[in-house]
Homo-oligomer: A and B are copies of this chain.
Amino acid sequence: MQIVPIGQAARLSGVKVTTIRFYEERGLLPKATRSEGNRRHYGPDDIARLQFIRHSRNLGFGLEDITALLSLSDKPDQDCAAVDAIAKAQMAKVDRRIEQLATLRAELARMVSACTHGTVADCGVIACLADHGLCQSDHAAAPAQTVMGD
């Protein structure tokens, strides 16, 4: 397994074929060398890089952060403070989100428990959605688009 085509690289790294091509286009991977028939070749270093990316994605890092982390990992003599900063920022982001989701969960639970299992007219869930005054928490303070997404 010295040099492999994209499909095998995908299997070895756990990154899908289309995603590998996407990463190349985005500059996270160097442009792959090609065979005579115009097919991409990958070596062990490329596989390692793909695994690095995949692992970072699994930890929730964005592609921009990953680009920074990759370029830092290519310069082993540098101070690793920048690495630390990126990781800590990511942790803070995750913390914030967990907090938001916990508030959300509490409100959803309260809402669901207000369901009378009767008709929609008496439904506590609908009533709560229709009138924020019926909520106890101030979850609505968070901008909607940041609640579930990035």
Contact = CB atoms under 8 A, between A and B. Distances in A.
A121 B59 contact: no
Contacts of A91: 105, 108-109, 112
Contacts of A81: 117
A58 B147 contact: yes
A1 interface: no
Contact of A118 (B80, B98, B105): B80
A77 B111 CA distance: 20
Interface in A71-96: 72-73, 75-81, 83-84, 87-88, 90-91, 94-95
A115 interface: yes
- By Cβ-Cβ distance, the 8 closest A-B pairs, closest first, are A76-B121, A80-B123, A57-B144, A91-B108, A60-B148, A58-B140, A80-B120, A73-B126
Contacts of A122: 80
B121 A77 contact: yes
A136 to B, nearest CB: 13
